[in-house]
Amino acid sequence: MRTPALTQIKPARMGDAAHEDMRCTDCPIRYRAVCAHCEGDELTQLEQIKFYRSFEPGQPIVWEGDRMDFVASVVTGVATLTQTLEDGRTQMVGLLLPSDFLGRPGREHVAYNATAATKVVLCCFRRKPFDDMIRGTPHLAHRLLEMTLDELDAAREWMLLLGRKTAREKIASFIAIIARREAALHKRRPGGRMELELPLTREAMADYLGLTIETVSRQVGALKRDGVIELSGKRGVILPDFARLVEESGDDSDGGWLA
């Protein structure tokens, strides 16, 4: 029998010391998270109900089917979302990057497994007081709706990627997604020469993109030989020209499909 998600979490080694005293106004995801539109008394209310949890790479955050009595924003790190069939087959269905929201207000049980792919720090809110706050805080409810619709758009784009794009385009698209999110966190548009670190191993990328690890390695090597990317260490990637990467992904500059 699995242990409920919150009781199996080890005390945060990074979050307790480095984040417990962090004010919302100083948060690195302040203007992209669910609290982005909150000000004044609204932020004070959130300060009173928040707490931090940290997870090491590979550590489960929540299990599919478990009762989840909190919701959270990813402050740092990356988590994977997976679902498992009755025969044990598992499919990665999403990634949680900094500022993404984990959990669903009003729903007690989890529909997926969430696992830390890198070291992850979550800003958590107990579900009941958060649900109550949504009903009385239009800014919070509106931002949550915005994020939900963005997630729906991303899911539709991912269906296109998995169903119609070539292996090379899939790899380029994945790198472009990470580059766009990295730029957004620093309040700038992606462009020119960029450096970033991929959040997933090649094996995990293969699972997420519906490819084999051999195909991922071949396509990464091909993009490197063609000068589209440069590699630095195990997961470091340098983009000499972001626009060139976008061309290889089959998308336009805004992330839409090129006919």
Q: Do 95 and 200 belong to one domain?
A: no
- pLDDT of 216 > 90? The answer is yes
Q: Are residues 39 and 125 in the same domain?
A: yes
Pair 46, 132 in one domain: yes
Report pLDDT for 18. 55
258: left (phi over 0), alpha (psi -120 to 50) or beta: beta
CATH number at residue 182: 1.10.10.10
The answer as to whether 158 is a domain residue is no
Evaluate if residue 130 carries a pLDDT over 70: yes
90: CATH: 2.60.120.10
pLDDT at 230 over 70: yes
pLDDT per residue as tens digits for the range 72-81 = 999 999 999 9
Q: Are residues 124 and 83 in the same domain?
A: yes
Number of domains in the chain: 2
Same domain, 183 and 219: yes
Residue 241: inside a domain, yes or no? yes
Q: Would you say the C-alpha torsion 173, 179, 184, 188 has a positive or negative sign?
A: negative
Query: Are both 143 and 174 inside the same structural domain?
Result: no
Q: Which domain holds residue 207?
A: 165-249
Domain shared by 224 and 119, yes or no: no
Listed residue (247, 166, 252) closest to 209, CA to CA: 166
pLDDT for res 258:
42
> Does residue 255 belong to any structural domain of this protein?
no
Give a yes or no: residue 240 inside a domain. Answer: yes
In-domain check, residue 259: no
Q: Is residue 256 part of a domain?
A: no
User: Same structural domain for residues 137 and 174?
Assistant: no
Tell me which of 231 and 185 has the higher pLDDT: 231
End residue of a domain, out of 116, 151, 186: 151
- Does the pLDDT value for residue 206 go beyond 80? yes
Helices 167-185 + 242-249 axis angle, to 10:
140
Residue 159 belongs to some domain of the structure: no
| Residues 117 and 242 both lie in one domain | no
Give the max Cα distance, the chain. 55
pLDDT tens, position by position, 18-60: 566 677 778 889 888 999 988 888 888 888 899 999 999 999 9
Distance CA 224, CA 240 (A): 11
Q: Are residues 115 and 33 in the same domain?
A: yes
Q: How far apart are CA 5 and CA 131, in angstroms?
A: 20
145 with 192, same domain: the answer is: no
One domain, residues 141 and 185: no
Q: For residue 179, tell me if it sits in a domain.
A: yes
Task: Write a three-state SS string for the chain.
Answer: CCCCHHHHCCCCCCHHHHHCCCCHHHCCCCCCCCCCCCCCHHHHHHHHHEEEEEECCCCEEECCCCECCEEEEEEECCEEEEEECCCCCEEEEEEECCCCEECCCCCCECCCEEEECCCEEEEEEEHHHHHHHHHHCHHHHHHHHHHHHHHHHHHHHHHHHHHHCCHHHHHHHHHHHHHHHHHHHCCCCCCCCEEEECCCCHHHHHHHHCCCHHHHHHHHHHHHHCCCCEEECCCEEEECCHHHHHHHHCECCCCCECC
- Look at residues 97, 117, 151 and tell me which one is the last residue of a structural domain: 151
Q: What is the pLDDT of residue 194?
A: 93
